[in-house]
Structures are given as structure tokens and as C-alpha cells.
Amino acid sequence: MNPAERKKQILRAVVEEYIHTAEPVGSAAIVRQYLTGVSSATIRNDMAELERTDYLFQPHTSAGRVPTQKGYRAYLDWLMERQRPKAEDMIELQNAILRGMPHWEKTIREVTETLAHLTGYAALSASPRLSKSKIKQIRLIRLDGMNLVLIVFADHDMVKHHHIRLEFPIDAALAEQVSHMLNREFANMRMEYIDEQSFVRMMCLFDANPELIAKVLRLIIKAIEEMTDVTVYLYGVSNLFTCPEFCDIERAKELYDFLDDTSKVQRLFMAAGEHGGTQIMIGSEIGIPELEDCSLVLARYLPERTVSGMIGLIGPSRMDYSRVTGLMDYLIKHLDRMICKTVNADDNQLILRGGGSFFRPLIRSDEIDG
């Protein structure tokens, strides 16, 4: 075997071995399990070289090697093969999808939970953000003078409802009138365009009872604004507590506090691209200090639609990328297929694509060959 190719194989061996054992990998272990027929001294020379070029790292003089972030990245971009999911994993994912149907928002939750369960990492997902969705219909239901329910029916059968409790009673006629106006003003409008200005515009349409109307409208506008917030689902956080990298309580707490903060997790999703396919960010690529030694795997479900959302995994950088990418690709493909059956694709044509993954190539291929 030529030296360049061998170095690749060594990097690959170190990454895979380290993923499974969480212990620094020595030259002997590689000879034993990955590259029989080569002397450990050769491996050592190559490893020293890989350390010089920053693919591997030695925690201390008499220890084996551990992949660096660059090492993981190279593994992902050039060395890894996607693993086709095991039959039972496919079945579990299929079942999760079916359990939620036809309410696919529930499907997302089921699938996220299953993903956490299958991988042993933390799984997270975000409901589609409705900002760019058009309102098809809006209803204000008056239960009694003090209690209203606002229902917004948007693109892709997205339905949001919100209970509004008033401090002063509203009569049926007025409520009916407001409901009418809302529909006339907001139908076919994108949800993100509903804001303080809409409030002012609406106010002009009424002349009687300005204080009451103002209060009601403010509550309605606020409710609609809240409806565009994405909901974050998080499962399997405690899986991370068993990873050796997070086994001390300080680190575990830090990680937990981050994940427990919905707004921070939302920002995670923001960082991801708009395109479909599985994206992987390693360590500092995520850009969040608390996740320095984590990897983030994210994919967009329904990537062709305005209502697409995200689903993903957080685990240690020492993540089983091969298995995880396989699972995610499989999942996304089937999610799209299933959801597409039930949802009225009324404004966008949905083109089913294969689950091709996207990795950012940060390292030139020749560097590792040289």
C-alpha cells in the first residue's frame, strides 16, 4: 500500500476506533484491528506526520492519538462511508412516522424521540416557522364575553389556535365584526407582515369603542406574532450524561443549561443552511462555546416548502457519523414521502429528491494525500 493511502487508512482507523472506545488509539491497536501486516513503527511514523499536519492529537507523551476537529472533518469529507441503517432501525423510524400520521407535527415529535433513542445522543427538532406562510383563513370564536379563541389557518394545513381571556367583556356582534375584518385584512397575507402597523391599520376600520377594540386587537396581533415562533422539541438529553466527555457534573450542567434554553437552541437552528440534506457541524464550526466538544447534525424536513423545519442530533464530536448520517438520510427521505401524501401542496410544487447529504469541504483533498 502506498504511504498516502496508508495515512488515510490510519486516520480512518483512529477516528473509528476512538468513536467506539473513547480512548486514545495506539499504534498497536491499529496493527491488531485495522492494518495487519504493517509494523507498529510504521504506523507510529505516519501518526507523527498526521499530528504535524494537525489531523491527530496526543493528549500526553505516552498516550495514543485522538482525532482533532480537522481530523473528524477529513474523515467526514473523504474517508467515511454512509452506513445503510439496520433493518430494525428502519422499522422503528417507519413506526414513529406512522404513529404521528396524519398529524405530521406529531410525527416530527415521535421521530425526534425515536432518533434520540436509536442513537443514544440528544435529538432536537423545530416546528416549521410560519413567518413566510400565507394565512388562508382566520377566525375569532367568541365563547362568552370574556373568552375568545383565535384560530389561524395557514398554508400547508398549518393550524394555530390561541385562547384570549379579556379583562372587559366584548359583545357577540363586535366580536363577529372583528373576526370579519381580520379575515378581510389578513387573508392571503404572510404571517410575518402582521405587526404593529397592521394594528394601526385595523384600528382605523372601527369607530365605536376604541379602548376595547384596541385591547382586543393588541392581544390578537400578539397572539399571531407568537404563532410564528418555532417550537423546539428536545429528547434524550440524559443520554449525553453517560458520554465520557460530559461525565463531570460541571460540564453536564453547562450543556444541560444550554439545551434547556429554548432561545439558544433556536439560534442553533438558525445557523443551519436553507438547503435540504444532512449537514454536520463539528466543535467550533457550530460557533457556540458550550458546544466546543460536540457535533451537531441537522437536516431540513420538507426542504422544498415554505413550512420546512429542522431535525437533528447533538452528541460528542466523537459521534458515530457513519451510522448517524445513514439514519438521517433515510429518515428525511421517508418523512418527505409520507408527509407529502397527506398534505395539500397548494402553493408549492413538491419535488421529491434523494436524500443526498451536504458536507462543507473545508480541507483540500491533496493536503492529506501529500
By the rule CB under 7 A, 26 interacts with DNA: yes
By the rule CB under 7 A, 309 interacts with DNA: no
Handedness of CA 338, 341, 342, 346 (dihedral sign): positive
As beta bridge partners, residue 150 has 140, 162
Report the alpha-carbon distance of residue 50 to residue 65 in Å, rounded: 10
Provide the 10 A C-beta neighbour count for residue 196. Answer: 10
Between residues 20 and 253, which has the closer beta carbon with respect to a second copy?
Answer: 253
Which spans in 1-60 are helix H? 3-21, 27-33, 40-52
Between residues 61 and 344, which has the closer beta carbon with respect to a second copy?
Answer: 344
Identify what 197 binds: a second copy, DNA, none; CB under 5 to 8 Å per kind: none
Q: Which phi and psi (to 5°) does residue 288 adopt?
A: -130, 120
What is the secondary structure of 267-316 as a DSSP string? HHHHHS-SSSSEEEEEGGGG--GGGTTEEEEEEEESTTSTT-EEEEEEEE
CA-based nearest residue to 76, from 7, 16, 2: 16
Between residues 126 and 150, which has the closer beta carbon with respect to a second copy?
Answer: 150
**Part of the chain binding a second copy (CB under 8 A), chosen from 67-75, 136-144, 225-233, 326-334:** 136-144
Identify what 58 binds: DNA, a second copy, none; CB under 5 to 8 Å per kind: DNA
In the window 231-260, what residues touch a second copy (CB under 8 A)? 237-238, 241-242, 247-249, 252-253, 256-257, 260
**Part of the chain binding a second copy (CB under 8 A), chosen from 62-70, 87-95, 157-165, 324-332:** 157-165
Q: Which phi and psi (to 5°) does residue 317 adopt?
A: -55, -35
Between residues 244 and 361, which has the closer beta carbon with respect to DNA?
Answer: 244
**Part of the chain binding DNA (CB under 7 A), chosen from 19-27, 120-128, 295-303, 323-331:** 19-27
Q: Which residue has the cell 415554505?
A: 306
Between residues 44 and 215, which has the closer beta carbon with respect to a second copy?
Answer: 215
Report the alpha-carbon distance of residue 151 to residue 335 in Å, rounded: 27
In the window 253-292, what residues touch DNA (CB under 7 A)? none
Query: What is the H or E stretch that residue 83 is in?
Result: none
CB burial readout 11-27, b (16+ within 10 A) else e: bbbbbbbbbeeeebbbb
CA distances from 137 to 15, 144, 151 (A): 53, 22, 8
Report the alpha-carbon distance of residue 13 to residue 40 in Å, rounded: 13
The DSSP letter of residue 195 is S
Identify what 253 binds: DNA, a second copy, none; CB under 5 to 8 Å per kind: a second copy
Between residues 44 and 264, which has the closer beta carbon with respect to DNA?
Answer: 44
By the rule CB under 8 A, 342 interacts with a second copy: yes
C-alpha cell at 94: 417507519
Binding mask 71-110 for a second copy (x = CB under 8 A): -------------------------------xx-------
Q: How far is the CB of 50 from DNA (least distance, A)?
A: 10
Binding mask 38-67 for DNA (x = CB under 7 A): xxxxx-xx-xx--x------xxxxxxxx--
C-alpha cell at 163: 385562547
Q: How far is the CB of 289 from DNA (least distance, A)?
A: 24
User: Which residues contact DNA by CB under 7 A?
Assistant: 1, 3, 6, 23-24, 26-29, 37-42, 44-45, 47-48, 51, 58-65
Where on the chain is the footprint of a second copy (CB under 8 A)? Answer: 102-103, 136-137, 139, 141, 143-144, 146-147, 149, 151, 153, 157, 159, 161, 163, 165-167, 237-238, 241-242, 247-249, 252-253, 256-257, 260, 342, 344
